[in-house]
Amino acid sequence: MSADATTGRAGAPGATPAGAAALDPYASDPPSRRLLFQLNPLAKLAAPVPAMIALVFARDLVTPLALLALAYAVLLVGMRWTRRSALLLLVALPAGILLVGAGMSLWVDAARASGTPVVVQLGAWTLYAGAVQTGLATGLRLGAIAALAFIAGLTTTGPDLVRATVQQLRVPYRIGYTALAAFRFVPRFGHELELIRQAHRVRGAHGGRGPFAAAARWGGYVVPLLAGAIRHAERVALAMDSRAFGAHRDRTERHLVPFRRRDVVFVALFWIVSGAILVALFPWTP
């Protein structure tokens, strides 16, 4: 079965822009030359998994700090930095680590850390260094897990991940391309919601302020948005049916996401480096 029978070409019988876009979203995105964008999504998902599992059991400061540095090094070298990603990695994530660490420090039982030096004492309440260390270790552990997840999350599109699961993990293509259609629906719903809001503002409908006015406005958005979703789903269903989508057990792929030698090398190197960090720093004995 040819790829054109399922994804369609411009001008093919029964093809519609909505149906073709829903079946193959983001197909025209230009590929990046940076390393992480060239890797298979499954490789980027598999590489950090052992380190993330080990971090669940780590209770020290050094192990999550080292794995956090490893994740940042991979992201620094392999991804295309933008203002948004820089804000996330250089501001939001460090601030989150500090906030979680400070919050967890206050929840630690003071009796368990009473043998460590006093950091702050306010009347009968005392904050010990052991509590601060425990809280900071928790924050670093969660931050390292998040940074390792960003290796795939910041450099992989949803459609490429779906294609990889279909091509390498043999997920049924009916399920995979249903997910691709869902990826296309989400931005379309946002666009339609903005059009509905503009139409309501022009007509002066549901004015006013306060929670009841907001609820009335959202109630007015639901019906036209649902009607638009049903119409769009019907067009996509007709487009898929005209291409005999789902009639055959297998299909050929128009856009390939191969698992190449570079993916194997990346996973192996990441496992080796993270394994060396765990062997050298992980507190194997309590």
Q: Give the span between the Cα atoms of 181 and 99, in whole angstroms.
A: 38
Residue 133 lies in a domain: yes
For residues 65 and 150, membership in a common domain is answered with yes
For residues 176 and 191, membership in a common domain is answered with yes
Position 239 scores a pLDDT of 77
Q: What is the pLDDT of residues 43-74, one digit of tens each?
A: 999 999 999 999 999 888 999 999 999 999 99
Q: What angle do CA 111, 136, 270 make, to 5 degrees?
A: 135
- Rounded to the nearest 10 degrees, the angle between the axes of helix 129-153 and helix 62-78 is 30
Q: What angle do CA 251, 256, 260 make, to 5 degrees?
A: 125
For residues 138 and 13, membership in a common domain is answered with no
Are the C-beta atoms of 119 and 132 separated by less than 8 Å? yes
Residue 165 lies in a domain: no
Residue 123 lies in a domain: yes
Q: What is the pLDDT of residues 102-129, one digit of tens each?
A: 998 888 877 777 778 888 878 777 888 8
Question: Is the pLDDT score of 9 beyond 60?
Answer: no
For residues 146 and 214, membership in a common domain is answered with no
For residues 109 and 232, membership in a common domain is answered with no
For residues 53 and 140, membership in a common domain is answered with yes
Residue 8 lies in a domain: yes
Q: Give the span between the Cα atoms of 86 and 24, in whole angstroms.
A: 29
Residue 181 in tokens: 């259609």
For residues 124 and 53, membership in a common domain is answered with yes
| 44-62 per-residue burial string, b: 16 or more CB within 10 A, e: under 16 | bbbbbeebbebbeebeebe
Residue 252 lies in a domain: no
Position 36 scores a pLDDT of 92
Q: What angle do CA 269, 275, 277 make, to 5 degrees?
A: 110
Residue 112 per-residue DSSP state: G
For residues 90 and 203, membership in a common domain is answered with no
Q: What is the pLDDT of residues 193-219, one digit of tens each?
A: 888 888 877 777 666 666 666 777 777
For residues 179 and 58, membership in a common domain is answered with no
Q: What is the pLDDT of residues 126-171, one digit of tens each?
A: 888 888 899 999 999 999 999 999 999 999 988 889 889 988 988 8
Position 79: which residue type?
M
For residues 55 and 147, membership in a common domain is answered with yes
Question: Is the pLDDT score of 233 beyond 50?
Answer: yes
Residue 266 lies in a domain: yes
Residue 129 lies in a domain: yes
- Residue of 107 and 237 predicted with greater confidence: 107
For residues 180 and 268, membership in a common domain is answered with no
Task: Give residue 191's domain range.
Answer: 3-28+172-242
Residue 253 lies in a domain: no
Backbone angles phi, psi at 120, to 5 degrees: -140, 140
Look at the chain and report how many structural domains it folds into.
Answer: 2
Burial class, 177, CB count within 10 angstroms (exposed 0-12 / middle 13-18 / buried 19+) = buried
For residues 135 and 229, membership in a common domain is answered with no
Position 26 scores a pLDDT of 42
What SS3 string covers the chain?
Answer: CCHHHCCCCCCCCCCCHHHHHHHCCCCCCCCCCCHHHHCCHHHHHHCCHHHHHHHHHCCCCHHHHHHHHHHHHHHHHHCCCCHHHHHHHHHHHHHHHHHHHHHHHHHCCHHHHCCCCEEEEECCEEEEHHHHHHHHHHHHHHHHHHHHHHHHHCCCCHHHHHHHHHHCCCCCHHHHHHHHHHHHHHHHHHHHHHHHHHHHHHHCCCCCCCHHHHHHHHHHHHHHHHHHHHHHHHHHHHHHHHCCCCCCCCCCCCCCCCCCHHHHHHHHHHHHHHHHHHHHHCCCCC
Q: What is the pLDDT of residues 213-229, one digit of tens each?
A: 677 777 777 888 888 87
In the block, residue with structure tokens 């904050």: 127
Residue 185 in tokens: 């629906």
Question: Is the pLDDT score of 260 beyond 90?
Answer: yes
pTM of the model: 0.73
- Look at strands 125-128 and 118-122 and give their pairing: antiparallel
Position 62 scores a pLDDT of 93
